[in-house]
Amino acid sequence: MPDCTYCGESFDGEAEYVEHLRDQHDEDELSRVDRRRVKQQEGNDKTDLPLAAIAIGVAIVAALGAMVYFFALGGSSADGIEGEPLPDSGDESLLTDVESFPSEGNQHVSAGTDIEYETMPPVSGPHYQSAASAGFYTETPPLGELVHSLEHGAVVIYYDPAQMTDDAEESLRKFAETHIGPWRSVIVAPNPNADPDAAYVLTAWRNKLEMDSSDVETVRAFLAEFLGRGPENPVR
């Protein structure tokens, strides 16, 4: 507990004592050492505001980083129904034609391996080590990558380029841009069949729904029911 050399008053700590020297005693009264201590304290006080500003700046950057991280994992916010949060489950009245299939397995095989699937487009089975990323494709990624994405919880939507309408393309692009998380992505790609039975085929792990025309409500219901619910790491 320091005592003031000049007036005898006692203080709990060094900082309080130096503040007393600055406020209660003239500079001429202080020794050279005490004048230096007071000036040093004044210099520290001047840095308080910049340090606070830096702290605020760091907090803002951290918050922005968290937002980027969130959208990178979960998606972005497209306009329209495509960008709205999904309900916990799909509208059953829109999913009456969903077909479910037995699992064809989930073993990994080397990239480039020729895989024969019982369903086409496939909804399960052997697949490559790498998975296809979310997005709208004008060329079909390797089926071995798409099946791996299904295992991760993706929904892969196949379209027939000859029957694709401008409105359907715009809507499907929005779905693919909205749902980009690694465990809940939407992938839109051309149907690998030369002569598809339907204009659009929605696939999830072991499930498939064919549509003769694009319907945004049905697509959203399918996503609500199956997206993010793959066998490897369900996140919904």
Same domain? 121 vs 33? no
Contact predicate 174/219, CB 8 Å: no
Q: Are residues 106 and 219 in the same domain?
A: yes
pLDDT in tens, 15-65: 787 787 788 887 777 776 677 777 776 765 544 445 555 556 545 644 554
**For residues 72-100, average pLDDT:** 83
Q: Is residue 86 part of a domain?
A: yes
d(Cα 221, Cα 88) in Å, to the nearest integer?
Answer: 10
Identify whether residues 27 and 109 lie together within a single domain. Answer: no
> What is the reported pLDDT for 56?
62
pLDDT score recorded for residue 47? 44
151 in a domain, yes or no?
A: yes
The more confident residue out of 33 and 227 is: 227
The answer as to whether 21 is a domain residue is yes
Determine the average pLDDT of the residues in 209-230: 97
pLDDT digits (tens, 9 = 90+) for 123-162: 999 999 999 999 999 999 999 999 999 999 999 999 999 9
- Does 233 map to a domain? no
Please give the Cα distance from 153 to 156 (Å, whole number): 10
DSSP code of 228? T
Residue 173 domain-assigned?
yes
- Identify whether residues 29 and 111 lie together within a single domain: no
Q: How far apart are the first and last CA of the chain?
A: 60
DSSP state of 96: T
Give yes or no: residues 95 and 37 share one domain.
Answer: no
* Average pLDDT over the chain, rounded to an integer: 86
Q: What percent of the chain has pLDDT over 70?
A: 81
Question: Are 176 and 85 part of one and the same domain?
Answer: yes
d(CA 34, CA 74): 59
Residue 134's contacts (CB-CB under 8 Å, 6 or more residues apart) are: 154, 176, 179, 180, 181, 185, 186, 187
The single-letter DSSP state of residue 215 is -
- What is the number of domains present in the chain? 2
Question: What are the CB-based long-range contacts (under 8 Å, 24+) for 116-119?
Answer: 117/143, 117/147, 119/208
Asked if the model's pLDDT at residue 176 lies above 70, the reply is: yes
Answer yes or no: is 53 within a domain.
no
Structural domain boundaries enclosing 218: 81-226
Q: Are residues 34 and 122 in the same domain?
A: no
117, part of any domain? yes
Domain shared by 37 and 127, yes or no? no
Q: Is the pLDDT of residue 80 over 50?
A: yes
How far is it, in rounded angstroms, from Cα 128 to Cα 209? Answer: 24
